[in-house]
């Protein structure tokens, strides 16, 4: 029988390896919102889930800063950290928005970030991670068109957070959300081009 399961819900008192679970203190917990069948174990996500990969560009919010170690919220069920040191030239405060690169992934639960950069000001929007490739477009064509026409600076995180600053942010946001909702529709590139040129809201 299928049940609804939430991120952090106990799956099993035993350690079970699965793409959508993590193990803590010998027990297995869900990483996703989805449905579960327990015998045999099968979890189907109800939402797209970001599976971090080395060299992914991400956007996140600093949630703690202590002894040159910064925790960053990437909308990922687990820890994401930036580790500073005496040779590093960055310093962040809680609430700062940063762009960084995934350097390492430890046991699928802790992400080590490198090359962090402060993104000052601007606006953050959240999108479905499954739609990120369409939002970026082949050879960055879609996001470049949106940035050029809106005159906005845009950083797309593979984790589903997008930072925008300057220009017509409202128009750029509408274009990005339109791509998300109509990713399956043919002729989308032309539709977005017309939206940007006509300044539709």
Residues 132 and 114 in one domain: no
In a domain, 50, yes or no: no
Residues 93 and 136 in one domain: no
Q: How many domains does the chain have?
A: 3
- Residue finishing a domain among 118, 140, 163: 118
Residues 128 and 186 in one domain: yes
Residues 147 and 130 in one domain: yes
Which strands make up the sheet holding 123-126, listed edge to edge? 123-126, 161-165, 153-156
Residue showing tokens 């990713």: 183
CATH number of the domain bearing residue 93 = 2.40.50.140
- Please give, one letter per residue, the 3-state secondary structure of 18-77: CCCEEEECCEEEECCCEEEEECCEEEEECCCCCCCCCCCEEEEEEEEEECCEEEEECCCC
Residue-level pLDDT, tens digit, the chain, 201 residues: 668 888 788 998 988 877 677 778 888 888 777 888 877 777 877 666 788 889 999 999 999 999 889 999 998 777 899 998 767 788 899 999 999 999 999 876 799 999 999 999 999 998 888 888 889 988 899 999 999 999 999 999 999 999 999 999 999 999 999 998 887 777 888 889 899 888 654
In a domain, 52, yes or no: no
Say how far apart CA 36 and CA 172 lie, in whole Å: 38
In a domain, 176, yes or no: yes
Residues 176 and 139 in one domain: yes
Residues 109 and 77 in one domain: yes
Residues 136 and 182 in one domain: yes
Residues 92 and 138 in one domain: no
CATH number of the domain bearing residue 151 = 3.30.1370.10
- Residue finishing a domain among 118, 138, 166: 118
What pairing do the DSSP bridges indicate for beta strands 79-83 and 110-118?
Answer: parallel
Residues 86 and 138 in one domain: no
Residues 65 and 32 in one domain: no
Residues 6+ apart with CB under 8 A from 56: 101, 102, 158, 159
Residue 200 is predicted with a pLDDT of 56
CA 27 to chain centre: 26
Residues 146 and 163 in one domain: yes
Residues 172 and 188 in one domain: yes
Q: Which domain holds residue 103?
A: 57-118
Residue 201 is predicted with a pLDDT of 46
């Amino acid at each position: 029988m299928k049940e609804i399961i939430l991120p952090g819900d106990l799956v099993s008192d035993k350690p079970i390896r699965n793409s959508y679970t993590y193990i803590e203190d010998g027990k297995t917990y869900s990483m996703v919102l989805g449905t579960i069948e327990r015998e045999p174990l099968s979890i189907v996500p109800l939402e797209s889930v970001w599976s971090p990969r080395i060299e992914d560009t991400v956007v996140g919010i600093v949630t703690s800063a202590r002894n040159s170690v910064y925790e960053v919220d990437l909308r990922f069920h687990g820890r994401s950290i930036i580790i500073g040191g005496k040779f590093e030239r960055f310093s962040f405060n809680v609430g700062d928005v940063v762009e960084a690169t995934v350097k390492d992934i430890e046991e699928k639960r802790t992400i080590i970030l490198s090359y962090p950069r402060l993104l000052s000001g601007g606006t953050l929007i959240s999108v479905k991670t499954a739609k990120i490739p369409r939002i970026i477009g082949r050879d960055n064509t879609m996001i470049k068109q949106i940035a050029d026409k809106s005159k906005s600076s845009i950083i797309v995180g593979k984790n589903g957070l997008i930072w925008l600053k300057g220009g017509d942010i409202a128009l750029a946001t509408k274009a990005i959300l339109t791509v998300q909702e109509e990713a399956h529709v043919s002729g989308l590139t032309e539709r977005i081009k017309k939206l940007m040129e006509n300044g539709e809201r």
